[in-house]
Structure 1
Amino acid sequence: MTNDILLAFQAVATLENFLVMMAGIWGGVIIGAIPGMTGTMAVTLALPFTFYMDPVPSILLLVALYKGSTYGGSVSAILIKTPGTASAACTALDGYPLAQQGKAGKALNMALYSSVIGDFVSNISLIFLAAPLAILALRVGPPEYFMLMLFALTTVAGVSGNSLLLGLISAALGLLLATAGEDMYGSFRFAFTDEMQGGLSVAPVLIGLFALPELIKLVVFRACPIMDAAKLGDQRVSFSEFKGSIKSITRGSVIGVVLGAIPGIGPSAAAFFSYGEAQRSSKNGEKFGKGELEGIAASESANNGACGATMIPLLALGVPGDVITGVMLGAFMIQGLTPGPLLFQTNQHEIYMLFIGMLFSSTFLFFAGKVTMRMFSHVAHIPQTLLTSAVLLLCLFGIYSISSSMFDVAILLIMGVVGFGMMLFSIPAAPFLIAFILGPMIEENLRRALAISRGDPTVLLSSPITWIFAVLIIFVTGLTIHRELKKSKDRKASRS
């Protein structure tokens, strides 16, 4: 095993891989710092260009973009009170007041230190938890896999929006679209054209669903005027300030790992939960929201702590932890790697390379943050209108370059319109994405389970593991319904 790790280290420690990771980190930080540009958009835009790369560098590029954009969201949150990503919303609560006090540099440094520590903790957790979880998963069969993926789908539908009904509608649309093309027995579904017989490709659906709606939104609603960025001012975080925040950083990192490893929750929920716990337990709790460094530490350590953790269910079980890892699942499959328990047996060398590369990316995040700190105020002010045409060209060129197919370009544009419609009606896109990715695997495991039992549906509840997932599905659904009913009562009470 030691020899395998050394070989993987040598394979990763090349100039090409380092440049790929540095480009991903810097690109992620810049995109995350631009209001309106999201980490999901960064990863989906890069997806077509990874098809020409080796598997591990391509995944490392996407992971680096994810990590960089998660930290980058704090830049605009601190400087102009406009979170670049949803997970940076908590950072704005204390970051912008600090910037108004002439301490923007100090806030950015604390965000950077907390992000790097949270990111490193999540990487270590991934390394030690993914393999044992995969070994456990090897003991399960098609019925257990079907129930696991159904649970993941239920969880995502429940937490990815304000409405359970809209989440379920989104997931149902994704499942429906996943059935297009040839099934495992050779039958064709929704094969209206010759191109449809092969099903819909992952890349145009994902990029159309997540990148184009943002562009349409900028064109239709116009870019909002952006506030002037605060000057960096005082930049040094003293030892006593860092020491006072270390408890919140540690707690936030652990919260990020735990919540990030649960499919469907992701960095945003981890950041809010960590911020709330820090405010509750801190001796400076009354200062939160007025410019408290500990608040930034709690938020940033949690959202970056969730990044590596979202890869735990992806690698071990083949279930994405959030929207971005859903895109990465597509990237894995396009590269000929199928995430799940067997990946640790058939592609052990690639797994070691991925783990080592992710540890390197934590170091690169620190240096990228330090080197680019002075240019951040300019990054946050890149006009959104200038970005629209450039991003659209990247989308069109990237999709067409994959298979030289105008059909894929058409799917890209159609999904962009569909995604914009979903945005207008507040239908969450995450359940759609996860359902589209998991749909074929859900169907395959269901059919295999029924084939094993000769059509007896009770096979889906034939083992303790299937019963555990069934109970979890009922529990999550019940919890979400209870939340919906409570919200409905609150709305009625406020009206009256």
Structure 2
Amino acid sequence: MLHEFMNGFGLAASWQNLGFALVGCVLGTLIGVLPGVGPLATISMLLSITIYLDPLSSLVMLAGIFYGAQYGGSTTAILCNLPGEASAVVTVLDGHKMARKGRAGAALAIAALGSLFAGIVATLIIALFAPALSKFALRFNAPEYFVLMMLGLFAAVVFSHGKMSKALAMTALGILLGTIGTDIETGASRYTFGVPQLSEGIGIVALSMGLFGLSEIIMNISRTESREVLSATIGRLWPSREETRRAAPAVVRGTAIGALLGLLPGGGVTLSTFAAYIFEKKISKNPQEFGQGAVEGLAAPEAANNAAAQTSFIPLLTLGIPTTPTLALLLGAMIMQGIQPGPQVMTTRPDLFWGLIASMLIGNVMLVIINLPMIGVWVQLLRVPYRILFPVILTICCIGAYAMEFSSVDLISMALFAGAGVLLSAFGFPPVPLLLGFILGPLAEENLRRAMAIAGGDITVFVTRPVSATMIGVILLMVLIMAAPKFRRNRAVFDEG
């Protein structure tokens, strides 16, 4: 394993991949700093470009955008009282209060260094445990893969925000959209309505750009823009000895919580920040300080969100299951590159597997260098009005969608999904389960048909095999949890918070 990791480190440290890692980290920090433009929309816009890159380089850049946004989101939360990312919501509570007290520099340093520690530890966890899980998953066959995909879809419903009935409807809609195109078994057209361009199905670039990129722009334009930047009170970029003493154990605890919850499908990254904050407040001798600038209230959630962002790669790299919508797009990027996600990646493409893991270590160090010395640059960017940013983003989206196939159908599809995204958000339908259903649905269908062919049509094949039977048991447990009144109440409270 050490030999493979060192080979991967050599690939990640090549000039080409270092350059793409830097681009990803800078873009991630930038979109984290600028509220309203998240990693999901950014990666959607870049999907059409990555197909022309080397697979490792494209994944290194996209991964850098994903975990770089966790760093950048804390800058906006601390200086503007406005989370750049959903995972930075908890950072606002104590980080901005520290800035109000003239400790903005210390708050930014604690957030960056805590995230660095969490990122390194979580990356080492991936290197240690992902190979073992991947080796176990190599025993999977079509029945296990089908049940695994269904488990991912059910988990997306359970852990999504809003009403579960709406999340379930969105998942079903995503699966239906994924069936459009040519049947892989018979070659017959399905739901193409005589449009030849739909014979290969709906493009993930058009869907993701419209659903998350353009719709996000439209909704942000409709909101009142209000940002107050505390640039005059940043001060010295280093915490005091007392702040360091209080922050260090909180970072360790937050890392442990985030590394565990990052494995959960749905909102593991966001959930980990709330869990870490609540845990720190519960064990604190002075809980009344939380919400008033407590160092632990900043350090633990920041470590948790970065650790969760890193460990969420474990299910993606070993099982081919994305635990977040952003990772679902990374899964889509792998498929576009002709790479079959799952445990075979480690054996067939060890350069990709270990190179991506090694790039995370390099990327975390880059992010600290980018975030702290360049804080003045990010402060100036915070003052850029949205009316200047959004036309640029809109142009990039249109060029990216058209460049995939040079077809106007992709532009029309993107516009339709943008309108659908606005309507879905307005009526409280979460778009994320739709994306997961769109990506996992066809994979589930393919493995279902393969399993039925292997078993000669015997449906009991799913319960007679130990692994698939166990996962079916987990799915049934999820259904029972969904039906529990206490779970529904807690879910409603979390969504309101």
Normalising by the smaller structure, the TM-score range is over 0.9
The match for 1:205 is 207
Q: TM-score, normalised by structure 2?
A: 0.95
Mapped to 2, the partners of 1:246 and 1:475 lie a distance apart of 38
What is the number of equivalent residue pairs in this alignment? 490
Does the CA contact (< 8 Å) of 2:45 and 2:209 recur in 1?
yes
Which of these residues, 397, 400, 425, is aligned with residue 399 of structure 2?
Answer: 397
CA gap 1:377/1:2 in 2 versus in 1, 3 angstroms: closer
The match for 1:364 is 366
CA gap 1:51/1:88 in 2 versus in 1, 3 angstroms: same
CA gap 1:69/1:488 in 2 versus in 1, 3 angstroms: closer
* Worse-matched range after superposition: 84-93 or 450-459: 450-459
Does the CA contact (< 8 Å) of 1:163 and 1:484 recur in 2?
no
Verify: 1:123 aligned to 2:123, yes or no.
yes
Which SS does the other structure have where 1:52 is aligned?
coil
Verify: 1:329 aligned to 2:331, yes or no.
yes
The match for 2:70 is 70
The match for 1:274 is 276
The match for 1:293 is 295
CA gap 1:126/1:5 in 2 versus in 1, 3 angstroms: closer
Aligned ranges 1:417-456 → 2 under 5 Å: 417-456=419-458
Q: What is the one-letter code of the residue matched to 1:325?
A: L
Q: 1:406 deviation in Å?
A: 1.4
Verify: 1:226 aligned to 2:259, yes or no.
no
Cα deviation 1:301-330 (Å, max 9, x = unaligned): 000101111110001000001111001000
CA gap 1:228/1:361 in 2 versus in 1, 3 angstroms: closer
Does the CA contact (< 8 Å) of 2:40 and 2:325 recur in 1?
yes
RMSD across aligned C-alpha pairs, in angstroms? 1.9
Does the CA contact (< 8 Å) of 1:312 and 1:321 recur in 2?
no
* Worse-matched range after superposition: 350-359 or 92-101: 350-359
CA gap 1:484/1:41 in 2 versus in 1, 3 angstroms: farther
Cα deviation 1:128-153 (Å, max 9, x = unaligned): 12111111111121111111111111
Mapped to 2, the partners of 1:228 and 1:338 lie a distance apart of 45
CA gap 1:284/1:437 in 2 versus in 1, 3 angstroms: same
The match for 1:344 is 346
Q: 1:488 deviation in Å?
A: 10
Does the CA contact (< 8 Å) of 1:164 and 1:484 recur in 2?
no
Aligned ranges 1:74-473 → 2 under 5 Å: 74-185=74-185, 186-192=187-193, 193-219=195-221, 221-230=222-231, 231-473=233-475
Q: Where in structure 2 are there 5+ consecutive unaligned residues?
A: none
CA gap 1:490/1:91 in 2 versus in 1, 3 angstroms: closer
Q: 1:285 deviation in Å?
A: 2.4
Which SS does the other structure have where 2:199 is aligned?
helix
Does the CA contact (< 8 Å) of 2:160 and 2:266 recur in 1?
yes
Q: 1:483 deviation in Å?
A: 4.7
Mapped to 1, the partners of 2:106 and 2:164 lie a distance apart of 41
Q: 1:45 deviation in Å?
A: 2.0
Q: What is the one-letter code of the residue matched to 1:177?
A: L
Does the CA contact (< 8 Å) of 1:119 and 1:362 recur in 2?
yes
Mapped to 2, the partners of 1:36 and 1:483 lie a distance apart of 34
Mapped to 1, the partners of 2:488 and 2:154 lie a distance apart of 20
Q: What is the one-letter code of the residue matched to 2:230?
A: A
Mapped to 2, the partners of 1:264 and 1:489 lie a distance apart of 13
Which SS does the other structure have where 2:238 is aligned?
coil
CA gap 1:122/1:489 in 2 versus in 1, 3 angstroms: closer
Does the CA contact (< 8 Å) of 1:67 and 1:307 recur in 2?
yes
Mapped to 2, the partners of 1:169 and 1:490 lie a distance apart of 18
Mapped to 1, the partners of 2:50 and 2:392 lie a distance apart of 19
Mapped to 1, the partners of 2:168 and 2:50 lie a distance apart of 32
Q: What is the one-letter code of the residue matched to 2:326?
A: I
The match for 1:494 is none
Which SS does the other structure have where 1:235 is aligned?
coil
Does the CA contact (< 8 Å) of 1:313 and 1:320 recur in 2?
yes
Mapped to 1, the partners of 2:2 and 2:476 lie a distance apart of 44
Stretches (4+) displaced over 6 A? 488-491
Does the CA contact (< 8 Å) of 2:110 and 2:247 recur in 1?
no
Mapped to 1, the partners of 2:188 and 2:445 lie a distance apart of 14
Does the CA contact (< 8 Å) of 1:38 and 1:69 recur in 2?
yes
Mapped to 2, the partners of 1:490 and 1:236 lie a distance apart of 39
Aligned ranges 1:471-490 → 2 under 5 Å: 471-483=473-485, 486-487=488-489
Q: 1:381 deviation in Å?
A: 2.3
The match for 1:24 is 24
Query: Percent identity, aligned pairs only?
Result: 32
Mapped to 1, the partners of 2:485 and 2:325 lie a distance apart of 23
Does the CA contact (< 8 Å) of 2:64 and 2:363 recur in 1?
yes
Which SS does the other structure have where 1:133 is aligned?
helix
Does the CA contact (< 8 Å) of 2:153 and 2:171 recur in 1?
yes
Mapped to 1, the partners of 2:223 and 2:123 lie a distance apart of 39
Q: 1:190 deviation in Å?
A: 0.5
Q: 1:6 deviation in Å?
A: 4.3
Q: What is the one-letter code of the residue matched to 1:299?
A: P
Does the CA contact (< 8 Å) of 1:218 and 1:385 recur in 2?
no
Q: What is the one-letter code of the residue matched to 1:257?
A: A
CA gap 1:446/1:25 in 2 versus in 1, 3 angstroms: same
Mapped to 1, the partners of 2:329 and 2:488 lie a distance apart of 33
Q: 1:402 deviation in Å?
A: 1.9
Q: Where in structure 1 are there 5+ consecutive unaligned residues?
A: 492-496
Does the CA contact (< 8 Å) of 1:80 and 1:227 recur in 2?
yes
CA gap 1:13/1:398 in 2 versus in 1, 3 angstroms: same
Does the CA contact (< 8 Å) of 1:104 and 1:233 recur in 2?
yes
